[in-house]
Structure 1
Amino acid sequence: MRMPFIALSIACLSLAGAAVSMPPPQSEPLLAAAVEVPTRSPANVARDSYRHPAETLAFFGVKPTDSVVEIWPGGGWYTEILAPYLSAGGKLTVVSPPGRPSAGINAKLDKDAPTYGKVARANFPSALGGTGVAPGTADKVLTFRNVHNWRMGYLRSDKMDYSAAAFREIYTMLKPGGVLGIEDHRLPENADNERERTSGYIKVSTIRKLAEDAGFQFAGSSEVNANPRDTHDWPEGVWTLPPSLQLGDKDREKYVAIGESDRMTLKFVKPAK
């Protein structure tokens, strides 16, 4: 039995601007129940020990009455939890690249109307076309392991980094006081910046600068998705580790024992005024 949700106050920054790491929050009962819904894929449930969904969403402060935008949900790992959690009093919008919707998420949304019938769809980034999220309509914008894609120029033939524009667009989606929650593969601060362009890992300092340049205020970090066994220097980047395991059977047991990547979990706030 999990304890009732304990509200998290926004962490103060030190004079040196260092990130403040918060203890893992406790999830409230409705959120804990959403993680346990029977409509979740068994394969996705098996990854909860790496992704800590209830604690992560509690850290971001997601409430059942929120209007939540999930950017690039892929196959819908978090959508499986957010959709039932928000179905009664909130709203979930899943946002896919224009012209490149995920077959996985579309199949999920189209198949199970009772669970996903209320989920709205939109496109991001809107610079590539499609229908974006209306400005000032979201209480929370969440994106899981995607900022590195924008930094790597994913979807662009020239591989140009469009992460700054992505953060500016996210800023416009949010209501004043709204929260941006980010989880991504963490690159050590002493690593070569160019590794962000090839490895799938990205630095906390890079994401903080992108967010703060767009107008966000840093509101804290959590180590709930950290993995100290990840040394961040694999032959195929982050995709060497589970669940991708791009090396196939080569050293498979080694990489399975390490587990999924070391991940940052960061929270930002759009100023209320």
Structure 2
Amino acid sequence: MNSKSRTPEYVLRDKYRNPKETLDFFGIKRNMKIIELQPSGGNSPGGWYTEILAPYLKENGLLIAAHFNPRESEWRAKMRRSYEERIKYEINFSKIKMTVLSMPPQQLTEDNTIDMVLTFRNLHNWLKSGYLKEVLEVSFNSLKHGGVFGVVEHRAPESFDLSKMKTTGYVTESLTIKMAEQVGFVLLEKSEINANKLDTKIHPKGVWTLPPTLKLGKQDKKKYLEIGESDRMTLKFIKP
């Protein structure tokens, strides 16, 4: 959390993303082998959670970044290159192992070898692409028995149907749990660490109306800054 290599703009978001509390809830340990699924690459320089995970695991554990397949689009290729550049030049990133999370997904690493798989605010993208179940399957396969699947995602009201989830970027807890259980996961615990009761979930540009994206620009900016970042579910699953 206190790594000097963290991007200052990222540190300012700790009050919304609660990284220490979130990782403690998931049960992280320094000697773990962990996969981070598609680490944030949309906002340069990317890797919000990587900046915390990489130095924490560097000496005794292993961080595997399951990043975009560069063949799928130029944007994905650009995001992956940017992330790989950080691995080359940042000492805390030097031991990160790269793999690919393609759409459709394929095996992430050798099955039954990983202690923890983490995903932060990605489910809505995989739901929209139609590959959420497949991502859950390859994550499940990679984990050891007793391994943890940690999820943080924008939380939709239970009244949202599938179409509304895809357009707003919010996903219901019930759908997340149902799909995870379908591939074999068992829900161990929920947390309200990343909840935000000020988030109504009804915004002109979906979740991207809120910070950090602020899709409307200056329009009602003060209003959305006062709301803060999205209301998020935090779910801890295990592979039995």
Tell me if structure 1 keeps the 8 A contact 2:154–2:170.
yes
Query: The residue matched to 2:137 in structure 1 has which SS?
Result: helix
Once residues 187 and 102 of structure 2 are traced to their aligned partners in structure 1, the CA distance between those partners, rounded to angstroms, is 23
Once residues 252 and 229 of structure 1 are traced to their aligned partners in structure 2, the CA distance between those partners, rounded to angstroms, is 15
CA positional deviation for 1:128: 5.6
State the AA in 1 paired with 2:87. L
Question: For each residue in 1:216-257, what CA deviation from the matched residue of structure 2 results, as whole angstroms up to 9, or x when unmatched?
Answer: 000011000000000001000000000000100000011011
State the AA in 1 paired with 2:9. A
Once residues 126 and 246 of structure 1 are traced to their aligned partners in structure 2, the CA distance between those partners, rounded to angstroms, is 26
5+ residue gaps, structure 1, are 1-34, 154-160
Is 1:89 the counterpart of 2:67? The answer is no
State the AA in 2 paired with 1:67. K
Question: For each residue in 1:22-44, what CA deviation from the matched residue of structure 2 results, as whole angstroms up to 9, or x when unmatched?
Answer: xxxxxxxxxxxxx0110000000
Is 1:185 the counterpart of 2:154? The answer is yes
State the AA in 1 paired with 2:25. F
Once residues 107 and 220 of structure 1 are traced to their aligned partners in structure 2, the CA distance between those partners, rounded to angstroms, is 36
RMSD value over aligned CA atoms?
1.3
Tell me if structure 1 keeps the 8 A contact 2:153–2:233.
yes
State the AA in 2 paired with 1:135. D
Partner of 2:10: 44
Equivalent in 225, 237, 240 of residue 268 of structure 1: 237
Tell me if structure 2 keeps the 8 A contact 1:76–1:108.
no
Question: For each residue in 1:145-181, what CA deviation from the matched residue of structure 2 results, as whole angstroms up to 9, or x when unmatched?
Answer: 001110011xxxxxxx111111111110101110000
Tell me if structure 2 keeps the 8 A contact 1:183–1:263.
yes
Tell me if structure 1 keeps the 8 A contact 2:105–2:138.
no
- Between Structure 1 and Structure 2, how many residues are aligned? 228
State the AA in 2 paired with 1:108. R
Equivalent in 86, 91, 111 of residue 89 of structure 2: 111
Equivalent in 110, 122, 133 of residue 99 of structure 2: 122
Alignment of 1:64-83 (within 5 A): 64-74=30-40, 75-83=46-54
Is 1:175 the counterpart of 2:144? The answer is yes
Query: The residue matched to 2:112 in structure 1 has which SS?
Result: coil
Question: For each residue in 1:49-90, what CA deviation from the matched residue of structure 2 results, as whole angstroms up to 9, or x when unmatched?
Answer: 000000000000010000000001021000000001001110
Alignment of 1:148-159 (within 5 A): 148-153=124-129
State the AA in 2 paired with 1:47. R
Query: The residue matched to 2:155 in structure 1 has which SS?
Result: strand
The structure whose Rg is larger is 1
State the AA in 2 paired with 1:187. A
| Structure (1 or 2) with the greater helix fraction | 2
CA gap 1:98/1:43 in 2 versus in 1, 3 angstroms = same
Equivalent in 139, 158, 168 of residue 115 of structure 2: 139
Is 1:213 the counterpart of 2:182? The answer is yes
Once residues 90 and 237 of structure 1 are traced to their aligned partners in structure 2, the CA distance between those partners, rounded to angstroms, is 37
Partner of 2:43: none
State the AA in 2 paired with 1:68. I
Partner of 1:222: 191
Once residues 237 and 106 of structure 1 are traced to their aligned partners in structure 2, the CA distance between those partners, rounded to angstroms, is 30
Once residues 187 and 35 of structure 2 are traced to their aligned partners in structure 1, the CA distance between those partners, rounded to angstroms, is 19
5+ residue gaps, structure 2, are 41-45, 71-75
TM-score norm. by structure 2 comes to 0.92
